[in-house]
Amino acid sequence: MHKIAKSSVQLAQMHAEQAQEHGESIEGFGKTLQTRNQNTQEYGQFIEEYGKTIQQYAQKSLLYTQTLERGVYKPMETCLYGDAVEAHVNATRAHIQAVKIYTQLVRETLKSHQT
């Protein structure tokens, strides 16, 4: 059985907390976009949903790291750590998708101003 270093658990927990904050920011940004105009409303809805998704994955990661920190499930330590990392990876993927949607909005906005 592999022992997970306390510093690794603490770092994973910090990443989960940061992902939570990013998710909240992205959700808020999506809501703001929805109030701008008709062109940005749909993009804002997608971005808001990705912000919520990021928060869900961040919460999962945080739950796993907090469970690890308590040291209750020693035999499952490696599995829990892997689950925490996987949830963080999924939060990161959702973040990337939100950025891609925003990038598409910027491209379309720039294109409409050029014509």
The pLDDT tens digits of the residues spanning 23-73 come to 999 999 999 999 998 889 999 999 999 999 999 999 999 999 999 988 877
Alpha-carbon distance of 99 to 114, in angstroms, equals 23
Is the Cβ–Cβ distance between 57 and 91 less than 8 Å?
yes
3: its two tokens: 């022992």
The pLDDT tens digits of the residues spanning 1-11 come to 578 899 999 99
Enumerate the domain spans of the chain. Answer: 6-114
pLDDT at 115: 65
Alpha-carbon distance of 39 to 109, in angstroms, equals 9
Report the SS3 class of residue 2: coil
User: CB under 8 Å, gap of 24 or more: what pairs does 103-111 form?
Assistant: 104/43, 105/33, 105/40, 105/43, 108/39, 109/39
Alpha-carbon distance of 19 to 21, in angstroms, equals 5
